[in-house]
Structure 1
Amino acid sequence: MSNIFAHRGSSGKYPENTMLAFKKAEKTGCYGIELDVQMSKDRECFVIHDETVNRTTNGRGYIKDKTLKEIKKFSIKSGWLKKERIPLLDEVLEWAQHNSLIINIELKNDKIRYEGMEELVVQKVAKFNLEERVIFSTFNLQSVRKLKELTNSEVAALYSKKGTNPLLLAQSTGADAIHANQRVMTEKLMKDCQQNGVPVRLYTLNKPVAIEKWIQAGLNGVITDYPELAEQLKKKRAVKA
């Protein structure tokens, strides 16, 4: 049965990549959460999808050009949530020690090649003793290989380009799993991976028809903005079975 991952937390209803979204996701009973990591000027790991703070906060500029102190002053854009801030990865990992969620950490180092990001993130996970509950993922294939050298945690290769063979991608990078855009995956490609011991997880599955289709097909992981909906559809499918 497919495992449900809350994409940037329960981001369909709450501000993405915030502690609120992660806590709300936990309450849905989902298997895990997915989050994104960028690095600040003073080498702090912040949980935010974009390279800049422009879209999701009241601030402007690149994460890489700002310090922890500067970033912590920004508020998440949400009319009724004036106190929500960009969380540090440390804050999320500390919170994760008190639940059983699997944490999918996506390193956003494909556009900006943050020097030493892999080592830093792996060290933080080890600090909180969460190695067995973390999946690392990245679009940066060089980074996939580096992570495989640094950690025993699961490492997934991300891709979104049509024509890519996911099994060959996993084999060429040493990735343990494949995380792909739903638009570039077929059931045959998924089965090829699974038959060779490579689990497949797809993003971002939000429509009931798509979620039901892939759960029925035997997808390993549904990455969705609506974990509560996905869990309900999963349970409905289990009852029918």
Structure 2
Amino acid sequence: MSKVFAHRGSSIKYPENTMLAFKKAEKTGCYGIELDLHMSRDGYQIVIHDETVNRTTNGRGYIKDLTLRELKKFSIKRKWYRNEKIPTLDDVLEWAMTTNLIINIELKNDKIYYEGQEEAVVQKVAEYGLGDRVIYSTFNHKSVKKLKQLTDSEVAALYSKKGTNPLLLVKSTGADAIHANHRVMTESLMKDCQQHGIPVRLYTLNKPPLIKKWIDAGLAGVITDDPELAENILKEKQ
């Protein structure tokens, strides 16, 4: 049965990658949440999608150039949610301990490589005792290999390029799972992965026909901005 992951939280209604979006996602009954991680100048794991704060906050600058103290001064600039702040991984994991959610942590280290991020994130997850409830993912396939050396948690290889063979990607990286853009996946490729015991999760499935199509095809994970919609479709299927 397919599992629903809230992409950056319940981000269709609430500001992405915020504690509000994650808490609202949990209320939908979804299986897990997905979040993105960059690293601040002083080594903190910052939950935000872009390399800069420019798009989602009232601040300016690259995460790598800003300290946690500076980042916490910024506010989310989506509609009326201006009291929301950028969370840290600590903020999310501390809250996650009060839930049963699976946490998909995407390391955003493909455009800017953060030296030592893999070790820091794995250590942080271990501090909270959540290793059995975490899935790591990244577009940086060297980082996939590194994570596989550091943790027993599931590690997924992300990709979005057409022509990529997911099974070959698994073989070359040692990944446990595939997370792919739905536009580059076919049912045949997914079945090949499943026959080799490799779960496939697709992003970002937001429209009912797409969600229904992939649930019917036996997709392992629906990664969506609208977990409430996906959960309702899943219940109808059951």
Question: What TM-score results when the alignment is normalised by the length of structure 2?
Answer: 0.99
Q: Distance in 1 between matches of 2:116 and 2:211?
A: 36
User: Map of 1:24-35 to 2, 5 A cutoff?
Assistant: 24-35=24-35
Q: Which amino acid in structure 1 is aligned with residue 110 of structure 2?
A: D
Work out whether 1:236 is the aligned partner of 2:233.
Answer: no
d(CA) in 2 for partners of 1:53, 1:81: 16
Q: CA deviation at 1:34?
A: 0.2
1:1-241 matched pairs, under 5 angstroms: 1-238=1-238
Aligned partners of 1:18 and 1:113: how far apart in 2? 23
Deviations 1:130-183 (A, max 9, x none): 000000000000000000000000000000000000011011100000000000
Partner amino acid, structure 2, of 1:130: L
Q: Classify the secondary structure of the residue corresponding to 2:162.
A: coil
CA displacement at 1:79 relative to structure 2: 3.2
- The runs of at least 4 aligned residues of structure 1 exceeding 4 Å deviation read none
Q: Secondary structure at the match of 1:229?
A: helix
- Aligned-residue identity in percent: 76
> Normalising by the residue count of structure 1, what TM-score does the alignment of the two structures yield?
0.98
Aligned equivalents of 1:167 and 1:31: distance in 2?
Answer: 25
Unmatched 5+ stretches in structure 1 = none
How many residues are aligned here? 238
Q: Deviations over 1:96-127 (max 9, x none)?
A: 00000000000000000100000000000000
State the secondary structure of the residue aligned to 1:46: strand
User: Which blocks of at least 5 consecutive residues in structure 2 are unaligned?
Assistant: none
Letter aligned with residue 9 of structure 1: G
Q: Deviations over 1:209-235 (max 9, x none)?
A: 000000000000000000000000011
Compute the displacement of 1:78 (Å). 2.3
